Amino acid sequence: MKTLSLSTTSFFLLFFIFLTLFCPPSTGESQSICRGSVCYRNEPVIRFPFRIPTQQLAPCGYAGFEVSCNVTNQTLFRLPNSGYFSIQGIDYGEQEIWINDPDNCLPRRILSLNLSGSSFTAVYYQEFSFFRCSSSNYIKYGLNPVACLSSPNYTVFATSSYKVVEDLTGSCELMAVVPVPVQWPFFEQVLSSDLSDDLRLTWATPRCGRCESRGGKCGLKVNSSTEVECRNVPQHGIPRAARYAITFGVGVPGLMLIMGLICCVCGRVKSFTIRPDHQVAELASSTITSQANAVSGLDGATIESYPKVVLGESRRLPKPDDATCAICLSEYQPKETIKTIPECNHGFHAECIDQWLELNGSCPICRNSLERPMGTMDAV
């Protein structure tokens, strides 16, 4: 193990020396005057196709992607038929945006959300029914109220479960049935939600995702307000032959080393499942409990059915996850493939959770059993 990490370190050292020698710093200045901007620290970086008109020139953005900064320093953006939303994150490579209500009552905005006339559509929709109940009794049955729509006289619930709809129909007033642009597709029906999680939207035009993924700089063509072009794709720094040399001389052994490391890590995780270690005591104990009731893991088709997503630059994950994979105990990096378990809304490195699920039929974090009867999948 020690020799391996030593050789890895020296390998990466050599690799970086090599890169610094052969890659000249990119020359952004000469190409364009457009630069990213922010409303405030920690707020999302705004660049093409988005633009803050008070800070960036007109050719630096695309029509319909204008963003403003509120006095509260929030990054705001207006949907033509639905008013202002705060931008929580932008993934330029995947062409996705996460928005919320600047006044902290997203459900109210969802009730009047109308994306027509905007450049945006939902990535996933899930239909929710809103009920207004004169009794708050349902909280006792585990239903989560929409607090900001409720009053002392009534309680509002939002559900996507046919069962709960059936239960509430008759005793409560149905307010509306609306499609909600959720962040992740849920296979299971959601019994109740306060719908405070960001909405996830995507845009089709302008198409800058490919350019962004290649590290290029997307922008409007000279004298055009609709045609875009990709500039500064980093490749001219290294001659073609040298790139092949790097790919085969460095990339392939590097890949093998990385795969070796992954195997090492996953091997360690496997051994934890048998012999608990204090470092992952919680994880290990969940394994033991789940092993007690279900020794076998899931079948390949079920494992394959869980939604995968390649992380973009913003590394945005479904809540309530943090930035670390609970199985590999390593942070997510852009371009890594994450697999989510909709039953508990947790995400993991795809290769780690696949191995886990082959051995365990439960979510490593919340221990929910994942054996689900067929035919309960919601259309998404």
Ligand X SMILES: *[C@@H]1O[C@H](CO)[C@@H](O)[C@H](O)[C@H]1NC(C)=O
The owner of tokens 């040399």 is 245
The residue range among 76-84, 181-189, 311-319, 360-368 that interacts with ligand X, by the rule CB under 6 A, is 76-84
Residue 116 touching ligand X (CB under 6 A): yes
What string marks each residue from 139 to 168 as x (binds ligand X by CB under 6 A) or -? ------------x-x---------------
34, 60 Cβ separation under 8 angstroms: yes
Residue 72 touching ligand X (CB under 6 A): yes
- The C-alpha atoms of residue 53 and residue 72 are separated, in whole angstroms, by 18
Residue 71 touching ligand X (CB under 6 A): yes
Nearer CB in complex with ligand X: 74/183: 74
The residue range among 24-32, 66-74, 302-310, 352-360 that interacts with ligand X, by the rule CB under 6 A, is 66-74
List beta partners, residue 331: 324
Q: Which of 60, 67, 76, 149 binds ligand X (CB under 6 A)?
A: 76
List beta partners, residue 337: 310
Residues within window 189-208 making contact with ligand X, judged by CB under 6 A: none
Q: Which of 7, 31, 81, 135 binds ligand X (CB under 6 A)?
A: 81
**Closest C-alpha among 91, 287, 295 to residue 203:** 91
Q: How far is the CB of 360 from ligand X (least distance, A)?
A: 44
- The C-alpha atoms of residue 170 and residue 373 are separated, in whole angstroms, by 29
Question: Binding-site residue total for ligand X (CB under 6 A)?
Answer: 16
Q: Which amino acid is at 207?
A: R
Nearer CB in complex with ligand X: 24/117: 117
Q: Which of 5, 20, 31, 70 binds ligand X (CB under 6 A)?
A: 70
List beta partners, residue 348: 339
Q: What single string gives the DSSP state of each residue in 274-315? A: HS--GGGHHHHHHHHHHHHH--S---HHHHHHS-EEE--TT-
Backbone angles phi, psi at 291, to 5 degrees: -70, -30
Please compute, for residue 367, the number of CA atoms within 13 A of its CA located in the half-sphere on the CB side.
13
Q: Which of 102, 107, 181, 219 binds ligand X (CB under 6 A)?
A: 102
Nearer CB in complex with ligand X: 114/305: 114
Nearer CB in complex with ligand X: 54/376: 54
Nearer CB in complex with ligand X: 72/247: 72
Q: How far is the CB of 200 from ligand X (least distance, A)?
A: 19
Say which residues have a Cβ less than 8 Å from residue 289's Cβ, sequence separation at least 6: 367
Q: Which of 84, 124, 125, 187 binds ligand X (CB under 6 A)?
A: 84
H or E element in which residue 248 lies:
none
Q: Which of 7, 20, 104, 114 binds ligand X (CB under 6 A)?
A: 114
H or E element in which residue 171 lies:
none
List beta partners, residue 208: none
Q: How far is the CB of 149 from ligand X (least distance, A)?
A: 13
Q: Which of 10, 73, 134, 137 binds ligand X (CB under 6 A)?
A: 73
SS3 127: strand
- The C-alpha atoms of residue 69 and residue 75 are separated, in whole angstroms, by 5
Residue 117 touching ligand X (CB under 6 A): yes
Binding site for ligand X (CB under 6 A): 40, 70-73, 76, 81, 84, 102, 114, 116-117, 151, 153, 222-223
